[in-house]
Protein backbone atom coordinates (compact mmCIF):
# COMPACT_ATOMS: atom_id res chain seq x y z
CA UNK A 1 0.00 0.00 0.00
CA UNK A 2 1.54 3.30 -1.08
CA UNK A 3 -0.04 6.23 0.73
CA UNK A 4 0.35 9.83 -0.33
CA UNK A 5 1.44 8.73 -3.76
CA UNK A 6 -0.21 10.18 -6.80
CA UNK A 7 -0.03 8.04 -9.90
CA UNK A 8 -0.22 9.44 -13.40
CA UNK A 9 -0.53 8.03 -16.89
CA UNK A 10 1.99 10.30 -18.64
CA UNK A 11 3.95 13.43 -17.71
CA UNK A 12 1.76 15.99 -15.97
CA UNK A 13 2.76 19.19 -14.14
CA UNK A 14 4.56 17.23 -11.46
CA UNK A 15 5.30 20.49 -9.61
CA UNK A 16 1.67 20.55 -8.42
CA UNK A 17 1.98 17.11 -6.83
CA UNK A 18 5.26 18.00 -5.17
CA UNK A 19 3.86 21.33 -3.93
CA UNK A 20 1.09 19.36 -2.26
CA UNK A 21 3.65 17.23 -0.42
CA UNK A 22 2.66 14.07 -2.29
CA UNK A 23 4.91 11.54 -4.01
CA UNK A 24 4.61 11.54 -7.81
CA UNK A 25 4.57 8.11 -9.44
CA UNK A 26 4.68 7.66 -13.19
CA UNK A 27 2.76 4.40 -13.61
CA UNK A 28 4.66 3.71 -16.85
CA UNK A 29 7.92 3.53 -14.93
CA UNK A 30 6.43 1.31 -12.24
CA UNK A 31 5.13 -1.04 -14.93
CA UNK A 32 8.22 -1.33 -17.10
CA UNK A 33 10.69 -1.65 -14.21
CA UNK A 34 8.53 -4.10 -12.25
CA UNK A 35 10.45 -7.11 -13.52
CA UNK A 36 7.05 -8.64 -14.26
CA UNK A 37 5.92 -6.41 -17.10
CA UNK A 38 4.80 -9.29 -19.31
CA UNK A 39 2.74 -10.81 -16.47
CA UNK A 40 1.15 -7.44 -15.73
CA UNK A 41 -0.03 -7.20 -19.33
CA UNK A 42 -1.50 -10.70 -19.06
CA UNK A 43 -3.21 -9.76 -15.81
CA UNK A 44 -4.97 -6.88 -17.57
CA UNK A 45 -5.97 -9.20 -20.42
CA UNK A 46 -7.40 -11.66 -17.94
CA UNK A 47 -9.39 -8.79 -16.43
CA UNK A 48 -10.91 -8.10 -19.86
CA UNK A 49 -8.55 -5.81 -21.77
CA UNK A 50 -8.56 -6.85 -25.44
CA UNK A 51 -5.47 -8.56 -26.78
CA UNK A 52 -5.47 -6.10 -29.63
CA UNK A 53 -4.96 -3.08 -27.41
CA UNK A 54 -1.84 -1.23 -26.30
CA UNK A 55 0.63 -3.04 -24.03
CA UNK A 56 1.42 0.13 -22.11
CA UNK A 57 -2.23 0.77 -21.24
CA UNK A 58 -2.59 -2.79 -19.99
CA UNK A 59 0.56 -2.46 -17.91
CA UNK A 60 -0.66 0.83 -16.47
CA UNK A 61 -3.95 -0.74 -15.45
CA UNK A 62 -2.21 -3.45 -13.44
CA UNK A 63 0.32 -0.95 -12.07
CA UNK A 64 -2.57 1.16 -10.77
CA UNK A 65 -4.24 -1.82 -9.14
CA UNK A 66 -1.11 -3.18 -7.50
CA UNK A 67 0.35 0.08 -6.22
CA UNK A 68 -3.00 1.49 -5.02
CA UNK A 69 -2.04 5.17 -5.13
CA UNK A 70 -4.10 7.77 -3.30
CA UNK A 71 -5.36 8.88 -6.71
CA UNK A 72 -4.44 8.73 -10.37
CA UNK A 73 -4.19 11.71 -12.68
CA UNK A 74 -5.29 10.49 -16.08
CA UNK A 75 -4.17 12.51 -19.09
CA UNK A 76 -7.29 12.53 -21.23
CA UNK A 77 -5.87 14.53 -24.08
CA UNK A 78 -2.35 14.81 -25.37
CA UNK A 79 -1.20 11.26 -24.77
CA UNK A 80 -3.19 8.19 -25.62
CA UNK A 81 -6.66 7.69 -26.99
CA UNK A 82 -7.16 4.67 -24.72
CA UNK A 83 -6.72 6.59 -21.48
CA UNK A 84 -10.44 7.26 -21.13
CA UNK A 85 -11.19 3.54 -20.87
CA UNK A 86 -8.16 3.04 -18.64
CA UNK A 87 -9.51 5.72 -16.33
CA UNK A 88 -12.97 4.16 -16.34
CA UNK A 89 -11.71 0.68 -15.56
CA UNK A 90 -9.50 2.00 -12.74
CA UNK A 91 -12.52 3.85 -11.40
CA UNK A 92 -14.40 0.57 -11.57
CA UNK A 93 -11.75 -0.87 -9.25
CA UNK A 94 -12.19 1.98 -6.77
CA UNK A 95 -9.18 4.13 -7.62
CA UNK A 96 -9.95 7.87 -7.38
CA UNK A 97 -9.29 9.52 -10.75
CA UNK A 98 -8.60 13.12 -11.73
CA UNK A 99 -8.67 13.88 -15.43
CA UNK A 100 -6.17 16.29 -16.95
CA UNK A 101 -6.12 17.46 -20.57
CA UNK A 102 -3.45 19.20 -22.60
CA UNK A 103 -5.19 21.49 -25.11
CA UNK A 104 -4.54 20.29 -28.66
CA UNK A 105 -4.25 23.87 -29.94
CA UNK A 106 -1.56 24.63 -27.34
CA UNK A 107 -3.67 27.44 -25.92
CA UNK A 108 -2.17 29.06 -22.82
CA UNK A 109 -5.62 29.96 -21.49
CA UNK A 110 -6.90 26.41 -21.65
CA UNK A 111 -3.75 25.01 -20.11
CA UNK A 112 -4.02 27.56 -17.29
CA UNK A 113 -7.56 26.40 -16.59
CA UNK A 114 -6.55 22.75 -16.55
CA UNK A 115 -3.70 23.46 -14.17
CA UNK A 116 -5.91 25.55 -11.91
CA UNK A 117 -8.34 22.66 -11.72
CA UNK A 118 -5.57 20.32 -10.67
CA UNK A 119 -4.25 22.85 -8.15
CA UNK A 120 -7.71 23.11 -6.59
CA UNK A 121 -7.79 19.34 -6.19
CA UNK A 122 -4.48 19.38 -4.37
CA UNK A 123 -5.15 22.68 -2.62
CA UNK A 124 -1.99 24.45 -3.70
CA UNK A 125 -1.41 28.00 -4.95
CA UNK A 126 0.44 29.37 -7.99
CA UNK A 127 3.17 30.68 -5.68
CA UNK A 128 3.73 27.26 -4.16
CA UNK A 129 3.88 25.64 -7.57
CA UNK A 130 6.29 28.29 -8.88
CA UNK A 131 8.52 27.75 -5.83
CA UNK A 132 8.73 24.04 -6.63
CA UNK A 133 9.41 24.79 -10.29
CA UNK A 134 12.34 27.01 -9.35
CA UNK A 135 13.65 24.42 -6.87
CA UNK A 136 13.64 21.84 -9.66
CA UNK A 137 15.58 23.99 -12.12
CA UNK A 138 19.08 22.78 -11.08
CA UNK A 139 17.82 19.22 -11.41
CA UNK A 140 16.47 19.87 -14.89
CA UNK A 141 19.84 21.39 -15.78
CA UNK A 142 21.53 18.21 -14.60
CA UNK A 143 19.29 16.30 -17.03
CA UNK A 144 20.43 18.58 -19.83
CA UNK A 145 24.05 18.02 -18.89
CA UNK A 146 23.49 14.27 -18.92
CA UNK A 147 21.93 14.53 -22.36
CA UNK A 148 24.82 16.68 -23.61
CA UNK A 149 27.26 14.01 -22.46
CA UNK A 150 25.37 11.59 -24.69
CA UNK A 151 25.63 13.44 -27.96
CA UNK A 152 28.45 15.92 -27.54
CA UNK A 153 30.93 14.02 -25.39
CA UNK A 154 29.72 10.62 -26.60
CA UNK A 155 30.26 8.92 -23.25
CA UNK A 156 26.76 7.57 -22.52
CA UNK A 157 25.04 4.50 -23.86
CA UNK A 158 21.62 4.96 -25.40
CA UNK A 159 20.10 3.00 -22.50
CA UNK A 160 21.69 5.26 -19.87
CA UNK A 161 20.40 8.35 -21.63
CA UNK A 162 16.98 6.73 -21.90
CA UNK A 163 16.87 5.62 -18.28
CA UNK A 164 17.78 8.90 -16.61
CA UNK A 165 15.60 11.01 -18.88
CA UNK A 166 12.58 8.72 -18.72
CA UNK A 167 12.79 8.86 -14.92
CA UNK A 168 12.58 12.65 -15.01
CA UNK A 169 8.81 12.40 -15.39
CA UNK A 170 8.48 11.55 -11.68
CA UNK A 171 12.13 11.77 -10.50
CA UNK A 172 11.62 8.25 -9.16
CA UNK A 173 9.29 9.78 -6.58
CA UNK A 174 12.14 11.62 -4.82
CA UNK A 175 13.71 14.62 -6.59
CA UNK A 176 16.55 15.02 -4.06
CA UNK A 177 17.67 11.44 -4.31
CA UNK A 178 17.30 11.48 -8.08
CA UNK A 179 19.51 14.61 -8.24
CA UNK A 180 22.18 12.94 -6.11
CA UNK A 181 22.11 9.81 -8.29
CA UNK A 182 22.35 11.93 -11.40
CA UNK A 183 25.27 13.95 -10.05
CA UNK A 184 27.19 10.82 -9.12
CA UNK A 185 26.47 9.22 -12.45
CA UNK A 186 27.52 12.30 -14.42
CA UNK A 187 30.77 12.53 -12.45
CA UNK A 188 31.57 8.91 -13.28
CA UNK A 189 30.53 9.20 -16.91
CA UNK A 190 32.71 12.24 -17.51
CA UNK A 191 35.78 10.09 -16.91
CA UNK A 192 34.90 7.62 -19.65
CA UNK A 193 36.50 7.32 -23.04
CA UNK A 194 34.15 8.40 -25.83
CA UNK A 195 32.36 5.84 -27.96
CA UNK A 196 33.63 5.46 -31.51
CA UNK A 197 30.33 4.83 -33.26
CA UNK A 198 30.01 4.11 -36.92
CA UNK A 199 26.39 5.22 -36.95
CA UNK A 200 24.56 7.82 -34.85
CA UNK A 201 20.85 7.32 -34.40
CA UNK A 202 17.87 9.32 -33.24
CA UNK A 203 15.08 7.52 -31.42
CA UNK A 204 11.73 9.23 -31.79
CA UNK A 205 8.37 8.17 -30.40
CA UNK A 206 7.22 6.88 -27.04
CA UNK A 207 9.75 4.95 -24.93
CA UNK A 208 10.30 1.40 -26.19
CA UNK A 209 8.56 -1.57 -24.62
CA UNK A 210 11.57 -3.65 -25.71
CA UNK A 211 14.10 -4.31 -22.97
CA UNK A 212 17.27 -4.59 -25.06
CA UNK A 213 16.86 -2.18 -27.96
CA UNK A 214 19.75 0.12 -27.08
CA UNK A 215 22.11 -2.73 -26.31
CA UNK A 216 21.28 -4.42 -29.59
CA UNK A 217 21.86 -1.21 -31.53
CA UNK A 218 25.24 -0.81 -29.83
CA UNK A 219 26.23 -4.39 -30.67
CA UNK A 220 26.06 -3.23 -34.30
CA UNK A 221 28.47 -0.31 -33.77
CA UNK A 222 25.67 2.22 -33.75
CA UNK A 223 24.36 4.31 -30.85
CA UNK A 224 21.25 6.28 -30.01
CA UNK A 225 22.35 9.85 -29.25
CA UNK A 226 18.89 11.35 -29.07
CA UNK A 227 15.84 10.05 -27.24
CA UNK A 228 13.14 12.44 -28.29
CA UNK A 229 10.27 11.97 -25.84
CA UNK A 230 12.45 10.95 -22.90
CA UNK A 231 14.34 14.22 -23.36
CA UNK A 232 11.06 16.11 -23.48
CA UNK A 233 10.09 14.56 -20.13
CA UNK A 234 13.02 16.44 -18.59
CA UNK A 235 11.66 19.78 -19.93
CA UNK A 236 15.00 20.97 -21.31
CA UNK A 237 14.12 24.58 -22.02
CA UNK A 238 14.38 27.99 -20.43
CA UNK A 239 10.93 29.25 -19.49
CA UNK A 240 9.26 32.13 -17.76
CA UNK A 241 6.81 30.24 -15.62
CA UNK A 242 5.05 26.91 -15.17
CA UNK A 243 2.52 27.59 -17.92
CA UNK A 244 5.27 28.44 -20.35
CA UNK A 245 7.14 25.26 -19.39
CA UNK A 246 4.19 23.01 -20.16
CA UNK A 247 3.46 24.88 -23.39
CA UNK A 248 7.01 24.40 -24.63
CA UNK A 249 6.82 20.69 -23.80
CA UNK A 250 6.11 19.19 -27.23
CA UNK A 251 4.81 15.69 -26.59
CA UNK A 252 1.11 16.42 -25.89
CA UNK A 253 0.62 18.73 -28.84
CA UNK A 254 0.76 16.37 -31.78
CA UNK A 255 3.16 15.36 -34.53
CA UNK A 256 3.80 18.86 -35.88
CA UNK A 257 4.72 20.29 -32.49
CA UNK A 258 7.14 17.41 -32.05
CA UNK A 259 8.49 17.78 -35.56
CA UNK A 260 10.03 21.19 -34.94
CA UNK A 261 11.95 19.90 -31.95
CA UNK A 262 13.04 16.74 -33.76
CA UNK A 263 14.31 18.66 -36.79
CA UNK A 264 16.36 20.94 -34.60
CA UNK A 265 17.86 18.13 -32.55
CA UNK A 266 18.71 15.71 -35.36
CA UNK A 267 20.57 18.52 -37.09
CA UNK A 268 22.38 19.57 -33.92
CA UNK A 269 23.34 16.02 -33.00
CA UNK A 270 24.33 15.04 -36.52
CA UNK A 271 22.53 11.75 -36.64
CA UNK A 272 22.65 9.40 -39.63
CA UNK A 273 19.23 7.84 -39.29
CA UNK A 274 16.06 7.74 -37.23
CA UNK A 275 14.24 4.93 -35.48
CA UNK A 276 10.57 5.82 -35.14
CA UNK A 277 9.10 3.57 -32.50
CA UNK A 278 5.38 3.09 -32.25
CA UNK A 279 3.35 0.79 -30.09
CA UNK A 280 1.24 -1.86 -31.81
CA UNK A 281 -2.41 -0.75 -32.05
CA UNK A 282 -1.46 2.90 -31.36
CA UNK A 283 -2.80 5.85 -33.34
CA UNK A 284 0.77 7.10 -33.57
CA UNK A 285 1.39 4.49 -36.25
CA UNK A 286 -0.64 6.78 -38.52
CA UNK A 287 1.56 9.75 -37.56
CA UNK A 288 4.47 7.84 -39.08
CA UNK A 289 3.26 9.33 -42.39
CA UNK A 290 4.04 12.83 -41.11
CA UNK A 291 7.56 11.96 -39.97
CA UNK A 292 8.39 10.03 -43.13
CA UNK A 293 7.33 12.92 -45.28
CA UNK A 294 8.81 15.75 -43.25
CA UNK A 295 12.13 14.34 -42.03
CA UNK A 296 14.94 14.09 -44.55
CA UNK A 297 16.88 11.25 -42.94
CA UNK A 298 16.31 7.52 -43.45
CA UNK A 299 13.67 6.24 -41.01
CA UNK A 300 13.11 2.78 -39.63
CA UNK A 301 9.63 2.39 -38.20
CA UNK A 302 9.82 -0.11 -35.40
CA UNK A 303 6.80 -1.61 -33.75
CA UNK A 304 6.58 -3.22 -30.33
CA UNK A 305 3.69 -4.98 -28.64
CA UNK A 306 4.51 -6.99 -25.50
CA UNK A 307 7.29 -6.13 -23.05
CA UNK A 308 10.45 -8.20 -23.49
CA UNK A 309 13.52 -8.53 -25.66
CA UNK A 310 13.53 -7.77 -29.38
CA UNK A 311 12.06 -10.48 -31.60
CA UNK A 312 14.02 -11.98 -34.52
CA UNK A 313 12.22 -9.92 -37.14
CA UNK A 314 12.78 -6.59 -35.39
CA UNK A 315 16.45 -7.51 -34.97
CA UNK A 316 16.70 -8.30 -38.66
CA UNK A 317 15.15 -4.95 -39.55
CA UNK A 318 17.37 -2.95 -37.18
CA UNK A 319 20.47 -4.73 -38.45
CA UNK A 320 19.54 -4.13 -42.09
CA UNK A 321 18.81 -0.47 -41.33
CA UNK A 322 22.12 0.14 -39.58
CA UNK A 323 23.98 -1.68 -42.31
CA UNK A 324 22.25 0.42 -44.90
CA UNK A 325 23.46 3.54 -43.09
CA UNK A 326 27.03 2.26 -42.85
CA UNK A 327 27.50 1.96 -46.59
Partner 1 sequence: MLGMDLGSRNVKIMEMQDHVITAQLSFDTIAFYRSYGKTGAGNLRIDLSELGLAQNQPLVATGYGKVSVQIEGALHLPEIQAHVKGAVYQTGYQDFTLLDIGGQDTKIVKVRGGRAVDFLTNDRCAASSGRYLENMAGVLGIDLEELSRYSLQPVELNSTCAIFGETEIIGKIVEGYPLAELAAGINYSLYRRFAGMLERLASDLIVVSGGVARNEAIVNIIARESDRQVMCLPEAQFNGALGACIYGYEKFSK
Q: How far apart are CA 128 and CA 104, in angstroms?
A: 27
Minimum distance between the CB of residue 322 and partner 1, rounded to whole angstroms?
8
Minimum distance between the CB of residue 317 and partner 1, rounded to whole angstroms?
6
Q: What is the three-class DSSP state of 318? A: helix
- Who's near 60: CB < 8 A, 6+ residues apart? 9, 27, 28, 31, 86
Which segments of the chain are extended strands (E)? 5-8, 23-26, 71-77, 97-101, 199-205, 222-227, 273-279, 299-304
Q: Of 94-102, 111-119, 229-237, 308-316, which segment contacts partner 1 by CB under 8 A? A: 308-316
Q: What is the three-class DSSP state of 325? A: helix
Give residues 246-305 in contact with partner 1 (rule: CB under 8 A). 280, 298, 303, 305
Q: How far apart are CA 245 and CA 251, in angstroms?
A: 12
Asked if residue 327 binds partner 1 (CB under 8 A), the reply is yes
Q: Of 59-67, 223-231, 255-263, 312-320, which segment contacts partner 1 by CB under 8 A? A: 312-320
Asked if residue 313 binds partner 1 (CB under 8 A), the reply is yes
Give the helix/strand (H/E) hosting 263: helix 254-268
Give the residue with the Cβ less far from partner 1, 77 or 317: 317
Q: Of 122-130, 178-186, 226-234, 319-327, which segment contacts partner 1 by CB under 8 A? A: 319-327
Measured on CA atoms in the order 300, 305, 306, 307, is the torsion positive or negative? positive
Minimum distance between the CB of residue 34 and partner 1, rounded to whole angstroms?
24
- Helices vs. strands in the chain: H and E counts, helices first: 15, 8
The separation between CA 113 and the C-alpha centre of its own chain, rounded to angstroms, equals: 24
Q: Of 178-186, 193-201, 246-254, 317-325, which segment contacts partner 1 by CB under 8 A? A: 317-325
Q: How far apart are CA 244 and CA 241, in angstroms?
A: 5
Give residues 182-221 in contact with partner 1 (rule: CB under 8 A). none
Asked if residue 323 binds partner 1 (CB under 8 A), the reply is yes
Phi/psi for 293 (5° steps) reads -80, -35
Asked if residue 306 binds partner 1 (CB under 8 A), the reply is no
Asked if residue 137 binds partner 1 (CB under 8 A), the reply is no
Q: Of 71-79, 161-169, 199-207, 315-323, which segment contacts partner 1 by CB under 8 A? A: 315-323
Minimum distance between the CB of residue 255 and partner 1, rounded to whole angstroms?
18
Residues that bind partner 1 (CB under 8 A): 280, 298, 303, 305, 312-313, 316-317, 319-321, 323-324, 327
Amino acid sequence: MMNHTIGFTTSIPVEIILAAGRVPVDLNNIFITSGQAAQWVEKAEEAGYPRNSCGWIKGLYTAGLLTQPEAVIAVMHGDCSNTQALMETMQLRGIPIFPFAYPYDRSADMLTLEMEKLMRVFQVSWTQVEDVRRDLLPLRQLCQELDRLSWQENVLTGAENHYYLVCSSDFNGDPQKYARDLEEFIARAQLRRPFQDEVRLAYIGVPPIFTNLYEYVESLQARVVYNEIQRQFSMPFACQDIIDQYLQYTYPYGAFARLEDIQEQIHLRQVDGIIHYTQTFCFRQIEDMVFREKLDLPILTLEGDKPGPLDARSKMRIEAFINMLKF
